[in-house]
Structure 1
Amino acid sequence: MADLTHTIDRRRARKAFDSYVAAYDATNPRIALKVEHTLRVAELCERIAREAGFTPAGVDLAWLCGLLHDIGRFEQLRRWNTFSDAASTSHAALGVEVLFGSKGDTGVADDDGSAAGTIGIIHRFIDPSDELEEVIRAAVGFHSDYRLPEDLDVRTHAICDVVRDADKLDILRVASTDTVETVLNATEDELLASAVSPAIEDAFFEHRTAHYSERVTPVDYLVNLACFAFELVYPTSLEIADEQEYIYRALERPFGITRPFENKATAQLMNRMDGHLRAWVDERLC
C-alpha cells in the first residue's frame, strides 16, 4: 500500500470514540456489547493489516476504520431500539451519516419541514483530509454489504477487505459466545429441530456466503457463519479464524450446546460440513 500523506493520532481517535459513546446508556448491555465488538475489530484490523505488509500509516488507517465501522449502531439502537437493519435502517449508512453528516450539512430544517441536517463528527477523529475521509467513508459504508463495489481503487478496496475480514471474525466470536435467543431469536429446541435450506447447503459447498434472503431456518444462520471462512481475503484472517475455532463451533457445538440435532438429516449434514470445512482450511494453511 502506497504511503499516505496524512498521519493518524490514535490517542485522539480513541478519546473521540470514548466521548461519543459516553452519550449513550453505558448500563445497556447492548451498548457494552457494541463497544467491545468495536474495539476488538479495531485490534483485528491492526493485526491483519500489519501482517499483510501495510505501511505503518496504512496500519493506522485500517485500525481507525475498524474503530469507526459500527459507529452507526449506537444511533440505530437509540432511535429504533434494535440492531436489525431490516426493522430500522442500514447501520452502515447511518454510520456514514454520523461521521460525514446529512442534508448537505446545513444544520437547519429543510423547507418541507423534514428533519434538520446534521454535521458529521469525522473531524473529531482526524484533521480534514480528502485522502483519508474517502477511504473511511467507503470502509464504514460498505463493511456490511454482501459484495464490495467493483470500481473501488486498490487502496480503498484493501482497507475495506481488512475491515470486512475483522468484522466477520468478531461476529463469529459473538455468535459463539452469546445465546441462541439473542443471536437467532429462536429457542434451543427450535434450532436443534431445524433443517438446512437447499440454498444454504449449495452456498456452503460452493464456498461462498449466502445472501440474507437465502437464510430461512435457524440453522441456516450457523451454516452461513461457517461460510465466512471461504470469503476471508487475507491469509492472516484465515489463520485467526482457525486459531479461535469459532468457525468450527458454528457447525460442531453452536452456543456451547452439547445436545445433538434432533433432525437426523441436519445432524449428518452438519458433520459432513464440519469435516469439509476443516479439510478446506487445512489445505490453505499448510
Structure 2
Amino acid sequence: MTNNDELSAMPAAINRELARAAFAAYVEPYDATDPRIALKVDHTLRVAELCARIAEASGFTPAGIDLAWLCGLLHDIGRFEQVRRWGTFNDRRSAPHAALGVDVLFEGASHLTDPAFTANPAASECVLAEDDYFRAHARAHGFIRAFCDDPALDDLIRAAVAHHSEHHLPEGLDLRTRAFCDLVRDADKIDILHLLAIDTVENVMGISADELLSSIISPSAAEAFFSHRTMSWAEQHTPADGLVNRACFAYELVYPASLEIADEAGDLYLAFERPYGIAEAFHDPATRFTLNRMDGHLRAWVDERLSA
C-alpha cells in the first residue's frame, strides 16, 4: 500500500531543518527537567525518523517520505500541553492528546478556554495562571504554518495527528490519507515498544514497578492477545493488561517493513522479559505462566510472518 501514483504529484513542500527548528521552538518553554517532557521530545524525534524509514522501505516518493516524517514529528504535539496542564499521559484523566494536537496545530489553541477540553481540572491554580502565556505561545509557534508552507497538505496532516492513537481508523478515509495514518500508527507503536527497553514504568505508565508486578492479566486481555488484536481502553483492567496490549501492537502493524524494523530492534518481546528493565517476576504464578505462554506464541507468529 504505497500509493505512489498519488504521492508522485505531491509537491516537495517539507523543509525538515526548518520543521525540526519549529518543533524545538514549540517545546522550548515546557519543563525540560520533567522526565515526561523529555520522554515525549525523544519519542517524537524517533517516530519521525521511523516514519521516514518505513515510507522509504515501502516505496514512497521522496516527497511522500518527507511528508511521512513531518506527520511523525507532529503526531504527539498535544502531549506537551497534556503534561503541563494535567500532569499525566492518561487521556481519560485529562483530555484526548490527539485532539489537543489538532487544536494546537489547526484551531488556535482553543483548548485553554474550551469546556470540551477543560472538563477535567488542571493540576494546580499555578498551572492555570500560565494559560495566557501558553495560549499565545501555541498560537505563535504551534500553528501548522510554522512547520509546513503548503495548505494543500493540511487535511492529511490533521488526519494523521487526529487518528494516530485511536483504537481503529475511521471508515471513509481516502486511500492516500489512510496510507499515511497507518504509517504514523505503525511508527508510534514501534517506538512505544522501544520505551519498554529505555524508560521507566513510572514515566510511561505512571505506576511503580511493584504495582505492575502485583497486577494480573484479565480474561479480556488474554482473549485479545490470542485473537491477535489490540485492546480498547475499556478492555484493559489492570497494569498487566496494558503491558500485554503493548505486545499486541505487533499484530496490527500494517506495513511489512514495520514488523521487520520492530523485530530488528529486538523490542517485540520486552513485555514478557524485563519490561522497563524490571528483572523481578510477576507475583502471581498464573500471570507468570500466561506471560510465558504469550511470549512463545508471539515469537512463533512473528517468525511465520517474517519467513512468508
Alignment TM-score, normalising by the size of structure 1: 0.90
**Displacement after TM superposition at 1:79 (Å):** 2.0
Distance 1:189 1:103, change over 3 A: closer
- Structure 1: unaligned runs, 5 residues or longer: 110-114
**Displacement after TM superposition at 1:173 (Å):** 1.3
Distance 1:78 1:187, change over 3 A: closer
Choose the corresponding residue for 1:59, options 44, 61, 65. 65
Question: Do residues 174 (structure 1) and 180 (structure 2) align?
Answer: no
Q: Give yes or no for contact 1:176–1:250 (8 Å, CA) kept in 2.
A: no
Tell me what 2:104 maps to.
98
Tell me what 2:120 maps to.
none
**Displacement after TM superposition at 1:191 (Å):** 2.6
Choose the corresponding residue for 1:39, options 38, 45, 54. 45
**Displacement after TM superposition at 1:6 (Å):** 4.6
Choose the corresponding residue for 1:127, options 149, 152, 155. 149
**Displacement after TM superposition at 1:253 (Å):** 2.3
Distance 1:235 1:210, change over 3 A: same
Question: Do residues 72 (structure 1) and 78 (structure 2) align?
Answer: yes
Distance 1:124 1:102, change over 3 A: closer
SS in 2 for 1:248: coil
- Structure 2: unaligned runs, 5 residues or longer: 115-131
Question: Which segment drifts farther, 149-158 or 95-104?
Answer: 95-104
Tell me what 1:14 maps to.
20
Q: Give yes or no for contact 2:35–2:203 (8 Å, CA) kept in 1.
A: no
Q: CA RMSD in A?
A: 2.2
Tell me what 2:129 maps to.
none
Distance 1:12 1:102, change over 3 A: closer
Distance 1:80 1:59, change over 3 A: same
Q: Give yes or no for contact 2:13–2:150 (8 Å, CA) kept in 1.
A: no
SS in 2 for 1:222: helix
Distance 1:100 1:201, change over 3 A: same
Which is bigger in relative contact order (C-alpha 8 A, separation at least 6)?
2
Alignment TM-score, normalising by the size of structure 2: 0.84
Q: Give yes or no for contact 1:77–1:83 (8 Å, CA) kept in 2.
A: yes
**Displacement after TM superposition at 1:240 (Å):** 1.4
Alpha-carbon distance between aligned partners in 2 of 1:263 and 1:269, rounded to the nearest angstrom:
10
Aligned residues: 277
Q: Give yes or no for contact 2:250–2:259 (8 Å, CA) kept in 1.
A: yes
